[in-house]
Structure 1
Amino acid sequence: MIRKTKITVSPLQKLEYAKLMVEQGYTNKQIEDMSGAGKSAVSRWKVQYQAELAGKTPKNVKALTEEQRRIQLLEAQLKQAMRDNDNLKKGCSFLHSRQSKLKMMREVKKANPGFKMSELCRVFEISCSSLYYKPIPKSVEKQAQIQLIEQAFSESHSTYGKRRIQADLLDLNCKVGVYAIASVMKKLGLIAIKPKKKHYYPNQGEEQVYAPNLLRRQFNPTTYNTHWVGDITYIKSHQGWSYLACVLDLGTKEIVGYALSSQPNAALATAALNNAIQRQRPNTQELMFHSDQGCQYSAKVFREKLKHLGIEQSMSRRGNCWDNAVMERFFRSLKTERLNRLAFTNHSAVVSVVEQYIQFYNYKRRHSAIDYKTPHQKYNELKKAA
């Protein structure tokens, strides 16, 4: 038996034979005789060449045309790159921290200078900005801001929130956002004291009007010593009850007069009014005094005092605390920010704490209603404008 000699045909020769069949009309039989190849091989070359001309890249055999061979080479390189990428990802899967990934990236870059860091960032799945990030230590300025926030909170006796603290810092030429202040307060555990829920009494009985409501909730006059409001509150001590009467200027929100006593009578209300007049020396002919309809302010002796001084009297509607809301708000602040946190042994202790708070309220405490100024600052502002 005689064996056939195996015919070896190069890819270039296959391409030439295929061109003869497709482009010049040679028959398969002619190419078989010319090449010595079998019938099926010649037929396969022709079909493959026609497919490549149509843009189809063969999968399991070498391409005949130069364009398709280039595509096959690129596909092979892409597959290899993907395998390398997968292997690299598997190899660095144990790296969890950003610093460990950056360290590995630098080692890879050192071994392969041709690699781009942007490509390595993509492989290691970290942001390119990580390459340039440097931990910023807390600056001296930041520490100073934190200390100022703590100081402002402490000096307010734990009553200031973020906005009042911001106003304090602005006076010191220190600009810090309210949310940054809130963040610092949260980290330091600085929680401003909040008021307790107030109990309101229902309206009872018929209204006996001694003076009309002339104020009509106009709580923000643009002048000082023209609109005063007054009220009385009670403070408990081990010795009994103490009563505080205050007079507040609506223009400045300042406590312009006050008096304390163990008796909540008209004499107490009159003493607070006298204290305010002595300290402020207003033109009483241009002054309105507003209060609720409590017996101290509706008493004949008090009404005659106002009439004698030429002060116009105004009273809230009965059972309507909102008609004297600013004065009520002061008492709420006094009790929330100071009195409710303390226990008093006697009347003298009450007097001492109340006087300290009024001093703080007038000269240190900031008010949102007057653009976070203190009452004394507002007084100076209005006095200068007058």
Structure 2
Amino acid sequence: MPEIQRRHTADFKKNAVLLSYQRKNVFETATELEITPKLLSKWRGIYRKYKEGSFPGGGKKRIYYEDSEIFESEKRLAESKLKLVILREGIKLKALGKQALYNFIYQNKKRYPIGIMCEVLGVSSSMYNLKIQYPLSKREMQVSLFKDAITSVFYEFKQYHGCVLIARELCKRGVDISEDQVTFFMKQLGLKRKVKKKYKVTTDSKHKLFISPNILNRQFTTDKPSKVWVSDITYLQIERRFLYLTVIIDLFDRKIVGWNLSSMLSTNTTIIPAWNMAISNRKVLDGLVFHSDRGTQYANKLFTSTLNKYRCIQSMSRKGNSIDNAVSESFFNSLKRELIYSQKTLLPPKEMREEIFDYIENWYNKKRRHSALKYKTIEEFNAEI
């Protein structure tokens, strides 16, 4: 019985031609579409000449396509769009190393041309073929997985974590790895935690306002929430001026319960808004110790009367002794090292506010591991209570 000849629609022919241009391989495309390479080549020749008028349907005349430059431009545009799609999907794997890119190419070889994926992702096609033909040994695979996991966590936490925190984070995720192994692999990978920088002190303690004694006396641990809050103010440089960040931290779980970012240093624009946020987030207990430095924002009558209203006990650091408020100082140290100093240019006010919100609410209060909490996140620490 003679074989029945297949009839192909105009859309099928056009899509077959376009797919062959993306794949850059007529034989591969024809095989996938279950047609002969000769037939596909014929359709390509027709499309090159007539473009959109190539397949008008039975009894209709083809429209001659004269402008080959437009045709080539559209061809290059289609290829550029394909490269962009590949780049968007594969770029996030670059930080995980070459093996992760090889795996991506292998998993998507039926969707995109291998050559284009290698070109876009910056890997050698010959090396890719070698890795596929000769896969890693069990030991090499384990090392590769360790390196990929370390690199992933390192960049997930924006290069803030050193070997100790990365090891603890990976162990929490079920990866059996030691701190020494993380240190060794980080050296091999060239991963270095962002370095610490100094910052200026902005406290104005030269005043004749009321000064409270140092009730806290460097006792930086408590056994329940809202027993001791500590607070401080620092400056953040932005385009052409400064913003001032005020924070209130509960020593129980190191959570920032209140904060405010302002363009002025008055009490009404710094500690009062931060206090209002704090009391909306946590109940104030009688006898709560509120510790700060001797700045005018904390020593003036407006704020001291606010503390008295809530039956709080005010405590202040000794003059010129930043260690008395070490927890607040440590937070600002981390903030500036992990966020501010990583910025290559000064941010406008709106972007700085967005960055500070993200750092405090999404990173510090939720995902960051604190040594004071035995390297747990604040949420993990409170969940165990």
Q: Which residue of 2 aligns with 1:313?
A: 314
Q: Which residue of 1 aligns with 2:278?
A: 276
Q: TM-score, normalised by structure 1?
A: 0.60
Q: 1:341 to 1:148 in 2, by over 3 A?
A: same
Q: Which residue of 2 aligns with 1:119?
A: none
State the AA in 2 paired with 1:360: W
Question: 5+ unaligned residues in a row in structure 2: which ranges?
Answer: 1-135
1:33-78: per-residue Cα shift (whole Å, max 9, x none)? Answer: xxxxxxxxxxxxxxxxxxxxxxxxxxxxxxxxxxxxxxxxxxxxxx
Q: Which residue of 2 aligns with 1:193?
A: 194
User: Are residues 1:371 and 2:374 paired?
Assistant: yes
Q: 1:235 to 1:154 in 2, by over 3 A?
A: same
Matches of 1:262 and 1:219, distance apart in 2: 30
1:223-276: per-residue Cα shift (whole Å, max 9, x none)? Answer: 222111001010111141111100011110111110111001111111101101
Q: 1:354 to 1:206 in 2, by over 3 A?
A: closer
Q: Structure 2 matches for 1:260-339, cutoff 5 A?
A: 260-267=261-268, 268-280=270-282, 282-339=283-340
Between structure 1 and structure 2, the one with the greater Rg is 1
Q: Which residue of 2 aligns with 1:141?
A: 142
Matches of 1:192 and 1:144, distance apart in 2: 21
For the 8 Å contact 2:203–2:293, the answer to whether it is kept is no
1:292-345: per-residue Cα shift (whole Å, max 9, x none)? Answer: 000111111011111111121111111111000000000010000111121334
For the 8 Å contact 1:239–1:345, the answer to whether it is kept is no
Q: Which residue of 2 aligns with 1:360?
A: 363
SS at match of 1:341: coil
Matches of 2:263 and 2:316, distance apart in 1: 25
For the 8 Å contact 1:201–1:319, the answer to whether it is kept is no
Once the two structures are TM-superposed, the CA of residue 156 in structure 1 deviates from its matched residue by 1.4
Matches of 1:206 and 1:301, distance apart in 2: 15
Q: Which residue of 2 aligns with 1:351?
A: 353
Q: Which residue of 1 aligns with 2:122?
A: none
Q: Over the residues paired in the alignment, what is the CA RMSD in angstroms?
A: 2.3
Once the two structures are TM-superposed, the CA of residue 283 in structure 1 deviates from its matched residue by 3.4
Q: 1:355 to 1:205 in 2, by over 3 A?
A: closer
For the 8 Å contact 1:202–1:319, the answer to whether it is kept is no
State the AA in 1 paired with 2:280: Q
Matches of 1:198 and 1:264, distance apart in 2: 18
Matches of 2:374 and 2:139, distance apart in 1: 32
For the 8 Å contact 2:290–2:312, the answer to whether it is kept is yes
Q: 1:221 to 1:336 in 2, by over 3 A?
A: same
Once the two structures are TM-superposed, the CA of residue 286 in structure 1 deviates from its matched residue by 3.8
Matches of 1:353 and 1:231, distance apart in 2: 19
Q: 1:196 to 1:366 in 2, by over 3 A?
A: same
For the 8 Å contact 1:248–1:256, the answer to whether it is kept is yes
Matches of 1:191 and 1:317, distance apart in 2: 36
Percent identity at matched positions? 33
Matches of 1:369 and 1:220, distance apart in 2: 9
1:123-164: per-residue Cα shift (whole Å, max 9, x none)? Answer: xxxxxxxxxxxx965343332222211111111111111110
Matches of 2:326 and 2:208, distance apart in 1: 20
Once the two structures are TM-superposed, the CA of residue 351 in structure 1 deviates from its matched residue by 0.7
Q: Which residue of 2 aligns with 1:255?
A: 256
Once the two structures are TM-superposed, the CA of residue 376 in structure 1 deviates from its matched residue by 2.4
State the AA in 1 paired with 2:359: Y
Matches of 1:294 and 1:137, distance apart in 2: 61
For the 8 Å contact 2:210–2:300, the answer to whether it is kept is no
1:1-43: per-residue Cα shift (whole Å, max 9, x none)? Answer: xxxxxxxxxxxxxxxxxxxxxxxxxxxxxxxxxxxxxxxxxxx
Once the two structures are TM-superposed, the CA of residue 378 in structure 1 deviates from its matched residue by 2.0
For the 8 Å contact 1:215–1:314, the answer to whether it is kept is yes
Once the two structures are TM-superposed, the CA of residue 173 in structure 1 deviates from its matched residue by 1.6
SS at match of 1:149: helix
Once the two structures are TM-superposed, the CA of residue 202 in structure 1 deviates from its matched residue by 12
For the 8 Å contact 1:207–1:318, the answer to whether it is kept is no
For the 8 Å contact 1:240–1:346, the answer to whether it is kept is no
Q: Structure 2 matches for 1:192-211, cutoff 5 A?
A: 192-198=193-199, 210-211=211-212
Q: Which residue of 1 aligns with 2:81?
A: none
Q: Which residue of 2 aligns with 1:244?
A: 245
Q: Which residue of 1 aligns with 2:342?
A: 341
Matches of 1:204 and 1:288, distance apart in 2: 20
State the AA in 2 paired with 1:356: D
Matches of 1:259 and 1:293, distance apart in 2: 19
Matches of 1:201 and 1:232, distance apart in 2: 8
Once the two structures are TM-superposed, the CA of residue 211 in structure 1 deviates from its matched residue by 1.2
Moved more, 142-151 or 177-186: 142-151
User: Are residues 1:183 and 2:184 paired?
Assistant: yes
Matches of 2:235 and 2:216, distance apart in 1: 25
For the 8 Å contact 1:234–1:241, the answer to whether it is kept is yes
Q: Which residue of 2 aligns with 1:222?
A: 223
User: Are residues 1:161 and 2:156 paired?
Assistant: no
Q: 1:316 to 1:220 in 2, by over 3 A?
A: same
Matches of 1:315 and 1:158, distance apart in 2: 34
For the 8 Å contact 2:150–2:166, the answer to whether it is kept is yes
Q: Structure 2 matches for 1:3-152, cutoff 5 A?
A: 138-152=139-153
Q: Which residue of 2 aligns with 1:108?
A: none
Once the two structures are TM-superposed, the CA of residue 201 in structure 1 deviates from its matched residue by 9.2
Once the two structures are TM-superposed, the CA of residue 288 in structure 1 deviates from its matched residue by 1.4
Matches of 1:250 and 1:149, distance apart in 2: 31
